[in-house]
Amino acid sequence: MPVAFLGALALLATRTCVSDVAKVELRFAFGDAGAATQSLEVEVFRDDDRDALATFKRVFNQDGATAAVGWKLQLDPGLYTLELRVRYRGRLVTLKKKVEAVGNAAVVVNLESDLQAAVRRPPE
């Protein structure tokens, strides 16, 4: 009987933990900057942790990022930092964005104005 109880408890704990996971789709929107975007690399961090929880990479063809790019992942609910490296107009642009993972949601990360502003600044 104790083995059955432990098995039932483990099953309950697993189902509880799974239901707490947020199924998030990050949608990276480039707008007019998409045609001049050559690549995108994203790392997801939680709090001050320096180990990335997930990494996403995409290289675009000569037409650039012609549409929003989606990335589906499962995260614990909460606030995350995205560190993005985007090759735009031949320059590597580094950005940080905060996003919140809640439930089963799509989170749009708008990059157009950040990318356009980055090429107006002199290179670092």
Can you give the pLDDT at residue 1?
Answer: 46
pLDDT category of residue 86 using cuts at 50, 70 and 90: very high
The β-bridge partners of 27 are 70, 108
pLDDT confidence band for 19 (50 / 70 / 90): low
CATH of the domain at 75: 2.60.40.10
Residue 16 lies inside a defined structural domain of this protein: no
Domain count, the chain: 1
pTM of structure: 0.79
Whether residue 4 is contained in a domain is answered as: no
Domain range for 102 is: 22-120
The answer to whether residue 96 sits within a structural domain is: yes
DSSP state of 123: P
When pLDDT is cut at 50, 70 and 90, the band that residue 20 belongs to is confident
Burial 56-91 (b: 16+ CB within 10 A, else e): beeebeeeebeebbebebebeeeebbbebebbbeee
Decide if 47 is inside a domain.
yes
Residue 99 lies in a domain: yes
Q: Is 11 among the domain residues? A: no
Task: Evaluate whether residue 92 is within a structural domain.
Answer: yes
The answer to the question of residue 71 being in a domain is yes
Average pLDDT value for residue range 94-111? 94
- What pLDDT, on a 0 to 100 scale, did the predictor assign at position 3? 42
